[in-house]
Chain A
């Protein structure tokens, strides 16, 4: 495997805060969080072929755990929040997986959608899950790492997110290259054949769903610190839509596709919400339709081909 481009990418992400204003650091942080979210979605949809419309359920649960620890227990210590912020979404995914995997195909989408919306309306209606007098929980601050003489700021938080992002990339890469990952692709391509070969396909799908939920939970947890605020909509369909767009835009079932998709999405979203805030959903929907109709492989795959062409013409960048 050619590691040079990856090392270059990691280094760029490492030094990039030195040259950017706080605003741009925030934007890059946002990109990394959503790239992680989109990668986790890619495990379920891209690799396993399960079209889920409720992935934000786990993203939002991660965010709500952090927010609730803040609101009710005044806990901001990262070493307490982190394990809970991973475990609760994983548990939610384990539970939802049992219900949603009762059905297959398109019906899986309907059930995941409804389960996500159930959490949305739960968060909307239960008083304990909201700050006083509003919908959602506000007043979240950056995590406390309990290191003497160290104060967390936006730049250091970027590095914290960076560590999570790189670690998750390595873990997920291991996962998709393992026999387990290959079996997931096999299930996507032909489930009945995998069954005939002797795989317990239900278990594989279930585990993929739960693992992906865990990583979505991490992304959600990081997002709630970044955003200072979680709202019911972070559990619902409008948030579930985002990783889907990113993963499809970048290239489903490719490892780095969702990252490229997230990069394009976050920056387009940023400019669109500055210049046409009212018409952004229209543009998003239009863009999505165009991608589905004409660029289903994802722009990441196109970029990859262009890179290959450049390599052929000017020699490899490996040397």
Chain B
């Protein structure tokens, strides 16, 4: 039972990081139709900036989280305003463009922060165990679960309850009419892209509590995000949440039961989902 609870918590906390990664990608993909392959690289930028502030300069973890998120958001905004917006309605070119940025950002990070990977770090007050009866569990991981739930709720609210969400959904269905109604869709898209990138950067700092930071993250995080989106379904927060937690939990139990093949579990899950439900578990028809 104790074994079960610990693995379950490991899985859910890892799954929450996956959810954080995938949610930002999924919003942009669902609402703007852009597959942002640079999402993993933007995550990495956020993680490095967070590390610089929280570890190198010794400031608080919260400040690292904030500045990491904002700087990643800015990187995303520059890519969107500078280049991507000239390519709307050309999905292949958009995807390829963002993929170029994986190389650019990865190499820039290597240049600035060097090739040595940074060890996981966390906030001072989270750097201990939560104890109840004879049961102990790292607080950092529990905080990830909490942050994930809060962010999920926030994004769901943004998507379904706010003016921005309504504008974006309307713009997806009928761009001409929405713009004809006098709504500045470009501005909404820019804001959305900024939010998505900022979430990526913040999840980079949050994820660094488990995985540390290295220059390969641009690709590996991208891969994780894509698999979660394929499994959960495109364009909905709920799908990203379900996909992330499912993959996280299966991965944790896989690591515990047959460690050598644990990393294939996510691929197998993906293939099974594709065979039986190509739209993803909670996806709309694609």
A positions within 8 Å CB-CB of B: 51, 53, 99, 102-107, 109-111, 113-115, 117-118, 121-122, 125, 237-238, 241, 244, 248, 278-279, 281-282, 284-286, 288-289, 292-293, 296
Report how far A237 CA is from B278 CA in the complex, Å: 23
State whether B263 touches A292 (Cβ < 8 A): no
- With contacts A114-B223, A125-B263 taken as known, whether A286 is within 8 angstroms of B278 at the C-beta atoms is no
Rounded to whole angstroms, the CA-CA distance of A286 and B104 in the bound complex is: 6
Q: Is the CB of A122 within 8 A of B100?
A: no
Q: Name B103's contact: one of A104, A114, A118, A285 (CB within 8 Å).
A: A285
Q: For residue A190, give the distance in angstroms from its CB to the closest CB of chain B.
A: 15
Question: A103-B286, A281-B107 given as contacts; is B97 within 8 A of A289 (CB)?
Answer: yes
Residues of A within 8 A of B104 (CB): 281-282, 285-286, 289
A110/B230 contact (C-beta < 8 A), A285-B100, A288-B100, A289-B100 known: yes
Chain A residues whose C-beta falls within 8 Å of the C-beta of B106 in the assembled complex: 281
Interface pair A289/B101, CB less than 8 Å apart: yes
Q: How many A-B residue pairs have C-beta atoms within 8 angstroms? Tell me.
A: 100
B265 to chain A, nearest CB (A): 11
Q: Residue B56 at the A interface, CB < 8 A?
A: no
Q: 6 A-B pairs, CB-CB below 8 angstroms? A: A102-B275, A110-B229, A118-B264, A278-B110, A289-B100, A293-B83
B108 to chain A, nearest CB (A): 7
Instruction: Flag whether B162 is at the interface (Cβ < 8 A).
Output: no
In the assembled complex, the CB of A61 is this many whole angstroms from the nearest CB of chain B, namely 16
Kindly list the 6 A-B residue pairs having the minimum CB-CB distance in the complex, ordered from nearest.
A285-B103, A285-B104, A282-B107, A288-B100, A289-B100, A118-B267
Q: Which among A107, A122, A125, A284 has the highest number of chain B CB atoms within 10 Å?
A: A107
The reply to whether B286 and A113 contact each other, CB–CB distance below 8 Å, is no
Partner of A99, one of B91, B93, B110, B275: B275
The CA of A113 and the CA of B260, in the complex, are separated in Å by 22
In contact, A107 and B286 (Cβ under 8 angstroms): yes
List the interface of chain B (C-beta within 8 A of A). Answer: 29, 33, 35, 83, 86-87, 91-93, 95-97, 99-104, 106-108, 110-111, 219, 223, 226-227, 229-230, 234, 260-261, 263-264, 267, 270-271, 274-275, 278, 286
Contact A103 B274 (CB under 8 A): yes
User: Quick one: which of B93, B95, B261, B278 contacts A109, CB cutoff 8 A?
Assistant: B95
Q: How far is the CB of A94 from chain B (nearest CB, A)?
A: 15
Note all chain A residues with C-beta closer than 8 A to B278: 102-103
A89 to B127, CA, bound (A): 49
Contact A286 B100 (CB under 8 A): yes
Considering the chains assembled together, what is the distance between the CA atoms of A297 and B93 in angstroms? 11
A114 adjacent to B226 (CB under 8 Å)? yes
B101 A285 Cβ-Cβ under 8 A: yes
CA distance A237 to B286 in the complex (A): 25
Q: How far is the CA of A51 from the CA of B93 in the complex (A)?
A: 10
